[in-house]
């Protein structure tokens, strides 16, 4: 019998986590092989590896403990990748040489698959004088554009695109430009952006006072605090960015406040980190630990929970020693503090199983109790590791126990730490779990509510036919298995039916026992008033959250999955969409139609010939393969590589128009050329332009710089013929959702945040 609870779970494993040869031949024949690979790799650093391999395997078995994707895909392989998810880069110096040194470090980190964060507050504002060159500074936003261009050219390990977070302090002179930067739809597309909001600023907002914008001790401007706050709120109300990070609260509550200062987070915000800080992630699957689900005595098996947490902490601690690091500074930082981020997934499903309505006061109290239990177990397990292997090198008992978070820790745990030390400086974090939640059987993600109880994916098969596949939430499927078609109880709620302040209540309840932070999206209805929207952020501040991310669907941000309701007010199965998703490449027909284009690059002796062949599916043409040829042998290697890579992408199906945008964004440091009155930054960009014209000509995309052409066989629609939003760049599904602070595909789990 298969271990997978749903077909989509097995597909995610095969696409994302299954170890394969370079030619695609599976090495992990079963998911048990994947668990064994991970368990063996993480047990190698133990004195008794055979003993711990079995315990680690037992934790992984049946998806009870879910290491983050980079660990699941990378542990026990020979790949040159990092097993750490999150990095914050070093402090960006306020000098040209230092800035570009940081750019190089960022590229090296992204190349190995890490999501990275930066604080751009250290760069002098636009218009400030630059000593010695008789010029004015261009400001941090101009350098963010350089970072953004770099990110477009780097593909992370496992085909994941690099993800970045940019932060700026609320008192930086360029803060207003930072807030509005992403209103330009072509700018900073590879960044999430958040404002570092300080306690004095929030006090000034509440008291309606003025606010100085300062750099290096000089006041550049003075604004009204409420006006600046309203500008932040208006940006996220209309564009879903910037986010808000309560930076002083983060530093006050940090277990390491005595030896580090935090000014940035990783891309999804759950890991506030110091310069060169790194953290790895993993989640306890609460949905697998409920005894007697939906019965009167249903409850979490707390004995099993504590044992599982202890094993997970040990596994994650071992990752610190087993992982590669892009930079030596990151390795040193990780070794000195041994930070880990153990979180949860399946919380909403677990609450449903024990009869609690997500967002209610009782659900919040239960969430706090469960996370308190996890925190205790994690800290005591780390103390046990300290007895056995030693405390983290920068541990100072007196200073550590005097920090904000540790002052609220249970006295018996504090006493154990005082006597024996602790192995890991920080232990808990709630990260985005979109992909691993699908892999675990479509359990609810992180601490988010259930997004939709079920929806239908239409899967395009190799022969061009389509099959329908229902994707059902884990708890809902369990209810169906136990009670058949009995209507769902009243306490079943989802993200579309929850009030925003219910979301805040759950985030605040979870934050009390999380020593790092939480990645969560507070879904707001499209018609929420601006004043009520601002109240969400103020409530997050007032109730102790460390940050706040909201999503309000509109014409700019895109709509979301629609869940209709029956007369019993129970969400029905979504009507589904024409999702173009191909798990295996299409077979090549015997003959194909296509066109060949001649491209003459200035100053080049030989022309390049580009042939694009198409396949006809359901009466529509779509690109199938590309051939690039030239007599210039200097071009031979890269033209062959480009031919193979682009053709491989085209044969996977979905919205492949992103290939054009990636090629057009490549710039040649030796300079581009003017072609037909337009500056083209590189020969690769010129090839991208040729392919784009072909896609327009066959009707696959609307026009130059535009997305998929509206077509019933290409674009997915929901009830009312309203597009769901942007297509997934991986599988083509119009099922992109804002989950845990990041646009994530509900069909294949693709997320730019990793």
The whole-number pLDDT of residue 657 equals: 78
Give the span between the Cα atoms of 622 and 137, in whole angstroms. 47
User: Cα–Cα distance between 58 and 53 in angstroms, integer?
Assistant: 9
How do residues 679-730 score in pLDDT, each as one tens digit? 788 888 889 989 988 988 888 887 776 655 544 333 332 223 333 455 565 5
- Supply the pLDDT for residue 748: 62
pLDDT score, position 730: 55
Residues 6+ apart with CB under 8 A from 47: none
Q: Which of 621, 620, 666 is nearest to 642 (CA)?
A: 666
Could you tell me the sign of the dihedral formed by the alpha carbons of 307, 447, 73, 20, in that order?
A: positive
Alpha helices in 604-702 (DSSP H): 636-651, 658-664, 683-697
The full DSSP string for 521-558 is -EE--TT--HHHHHHHHHHHHHTT-SEE-EE--BTTTB
Residue 148 is predicted with a pLDDT of 86
Q: Based on C-alpha coordinates, what's the Rg of the chain?
A: 26
Number of H helices, E strands in the chain: 24, 32
Is 266 considered catalytic here? Answer: yes
| Phi, psi (deg, nearest 5) at residue 246 | -85, 85
Token duo for residue 11? 């597909």
Q: Which of 109, 43, 110, 591 is nearest to 317 (CA)?
A: 43
- Residue 432 pairs in a beta bridge with none
Cα(679)–Cα(194) distance, rounded to whole angstroms? 33
What is the spatial distance between Cα 494 and Cα 506, in angstroms, rounded to a whole number?
Answer: 14
Q: What is the pLDDT of residues 88-141, one digit of tens each?
A: 999 999 998 999 999 999 888 887 777 799 999 999 999 998 876 667 899 999
Please identify which of the residues 190, 254, 255, 266 carries the catalytic annotation: 266
Whole-angstrom distance, CA of residue 367 vs CA of residue 359:
10
- Per the rule left: phi > 0, alpha: psi between -120 and 50, beta: everything else, 174 is alpha
Q: Are 315 and 384 within 8 A, CB to CB?
A: no
| Rounded Cα distance, 304 and 378, in Å | 13
Q: How far is CA 373 from CA 193, 300, 465, in A?
A: 33, 11, 50
Instruction: Give the residue among 550, 351, 540 at the shortest CA–CA distance from 449.
Output: 351
C-alpha to C-alpha distances, 9 to 2, 20, 37, 287, 471, nearest whole angstrom: 11, 18, 19, 15, 10
* 467 alpha carbon, distance to own chain's centre: 29
Q: Give how far Cα 351 sits from Cα of 230, 245, 377, Å.
A: 36, 28, 20
- Could you tell me the mean pLDDT of each successive run of 10 residues in the chain, 754 residues long? 85 90 90 97 95 98 95 88 87 92 88 84 92 81 89 53 86 97 86 96 98 97 98 95 96 97 93 94 97 95 96 97 92 97 97 97 98 98 98 98 97 98 98 90 94 76 67 94 93 90 97 96 93 97 96 74 38 36 58 87 80 81 87 76 84 76 76 76 87 88 64 32 48 63 67 60
Catalytic residue among 170, 268, 279, 748: 268
Q: Has 523 been annotated as catalytic? A: no
CB 83 within 8 A of CB 322: yes
Contact status, residue 284 vs residue 93, Cβ threshold 8 Å: no
Residues 6+ apart with CB under 8 A from 128: 136, 137, 139, 173, 215
Is-catalytic flag, 632?
Answer: no
What is the C-alpha separation between 635 and 41, in angstroms, rounded? 41
pLDDT for position 301: 96
- Give the pair of three-digit tokens for residue 747: 């069909």
> ∠ CA 648-650-651 to the nearest 5 degrees?
65
What does the block give as tokens for 413?
């745990």
Cα distances (angstroms) measured from residue 555 to each of 450, 551, 656: 24, 12, 23
Catalytic residue, from 105, 260, 270, 416: name it: 270
Cβ atoms within 10 Å, residue 468 = 9
- 32-83 pLDDT, tens digit each: 999 999 999 999 999 999 999 999 999 999 999 999 988 999 999 987 778 8
Length of the chain: 754
Contacts of 16 (CB under 8 A, 6+ apart): 69, 72, 73, 158, 435, 439, 749
Q: How many CB atoms lie within 10 A of CB 315?
A: 28
Burial grade of 393 (CB within 10 A; 0-12, 13-18, 19 or more): exposed
């Amino acid at each position: 019998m298969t271990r997978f609870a749903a077909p989509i779970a097995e597909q995610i494993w095969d696409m994302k986590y299954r170890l394969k040869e370079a030619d695609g031949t599976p090495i992990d024949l079963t998911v048990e092989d994947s668990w064994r690979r991970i368990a063996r790799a993480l047990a190698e650093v133990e004195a008794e590896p055979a003993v711990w391999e079995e315990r680690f395997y037992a934790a992984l078995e049946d998806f009870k403990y879910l290491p983050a994707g980079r660990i699941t895909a990378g542990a026990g392989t020979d790949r040159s990748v990092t097993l750490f998810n999150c990095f914050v880069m070093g402090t960006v110096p306020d000098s040209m040489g230092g800035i570009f040194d940081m750019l190089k470090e960022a590229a090296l980190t992204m190349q190995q698959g890490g999501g990275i964060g930066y604080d751009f507050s250290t760069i002098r504002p636009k218009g400030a004088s630059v000593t010695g060159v008789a010029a004015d500074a261009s400001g941090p936003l101009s350098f963010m554009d350089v970072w953004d261009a770099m990110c477009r050219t780097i593909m992370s390990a496992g085909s994941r695109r690099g993800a970045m977070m940019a932060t700026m302090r609320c008192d930086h002179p360029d803060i207003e430009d930072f807030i509005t930067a992403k209103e330009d739809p072509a700018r900073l597309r590879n960044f999430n952006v958040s404002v570092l909001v300080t306690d004095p600023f929030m006090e000034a907002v509440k008291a309606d006072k003025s606010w100085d914008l300062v750099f290096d001790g000089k006041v550049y401007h003075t604004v009204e605090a409420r006006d600046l706050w309203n500008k932040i709120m208006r940006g996220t109300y209309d564009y879903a960015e910037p986010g808000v990070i309560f930076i002083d609260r983060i530093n006050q509550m940090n277990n390491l406040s005595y030896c580090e200062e935090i000014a940035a987070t990783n891309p999804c915000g759950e890991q506030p980190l110091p310069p060169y800080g790194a953290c790895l992630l993993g989640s306890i699957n609460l949905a697998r630990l409920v005894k007697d689900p939906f019965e009167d005595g249903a409850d979490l098996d707390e004995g099993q929970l504590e044992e599982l947490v202890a094993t997970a902490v040990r596994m994650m601690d071992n990752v610190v020693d087993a992982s590669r690091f892009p930079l030596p500074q990151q390795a040193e930082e990780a070794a000195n503090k041994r930070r880990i981020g153990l979180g949860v997934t399946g919380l909403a499903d677990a609450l449903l199983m024990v009869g609690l309505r997500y967002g209610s006061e009782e659900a919040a109290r239960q969430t706090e109790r469960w996370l308190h239990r996890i925190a205790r177990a994690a800290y005591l397990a780390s103390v046990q590791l300290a007895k056995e292997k030693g405390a983290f090198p920068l541990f100072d008992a007196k200073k550590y126990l005097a920090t904000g978070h540790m002052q609220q820790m249970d006295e018996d745990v504090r006493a154990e730490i005082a006597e024996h030390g602790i192995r890991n400086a920080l232990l808990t974090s709630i990260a985005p779990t979109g992909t691993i939640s699908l892999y675990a059987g479509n359990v609810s993600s992180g601490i988010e509510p259930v997004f939709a109880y079920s929806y239908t994916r239409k899967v395009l098969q190799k022969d061009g036919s389509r099959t329908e596949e229902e994707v059902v939430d884990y708890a809902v499927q369990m209810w169906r298995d136990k009670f058949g078609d009995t209507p769902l109880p009243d306490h079943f709620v989802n993200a579309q039916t929850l009030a925003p302040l219910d979301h805040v209540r759950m985030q605040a309840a979870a934050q009390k026992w999380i020593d790092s932070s939480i990645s969560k999206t507070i879904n707001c209805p499209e018609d929420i008033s601006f004043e009520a929207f601002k109240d969400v952020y103020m409530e997050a501040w007032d109730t102790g959250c460390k940050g706040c991310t909201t999503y309000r669907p509109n014409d700019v941000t895109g709509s979301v999955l629609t869940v209709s309701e029956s007369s019993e007010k129970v969400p029905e199965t979504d009507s589904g969409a024409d999702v173009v998703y191909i798990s295996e490449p299409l077979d090549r027909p015997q003959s194909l139609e296509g066109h060949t284009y001649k491209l003459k690059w200035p100053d080049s002796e030989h022309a390049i010939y580009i042939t694009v062949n198409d396949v006809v599916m359901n009466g529509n043409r779509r690109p199938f393969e590309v051939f690039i040829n030239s007599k210039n042998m200097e071009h031979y290697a890269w033209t062959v590589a480009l031919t193979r890579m682009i053709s491989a992408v085209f044969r996977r199906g979905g919205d492949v128009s992103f290939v054009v945008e990636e090629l057009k964004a490549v710039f040649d440091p030796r300079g581009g050329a003017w072609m037909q009155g337009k500056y083209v930054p590189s020969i690769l960009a010129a090839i991208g332009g040729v392919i784009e014209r072909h896609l327009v000509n066959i009707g696959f995309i609307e026009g130059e710089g535009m997305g998929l052409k509206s077509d019933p066989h290409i674009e997915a629609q929901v009830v009312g013929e309203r597009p769901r939003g942007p297509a997934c760049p991986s599988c083509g599904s119009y099922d992109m959702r804002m989950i845990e602070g990041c646009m994530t595909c509900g069909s294949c789990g693709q997320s730019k945040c990793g």
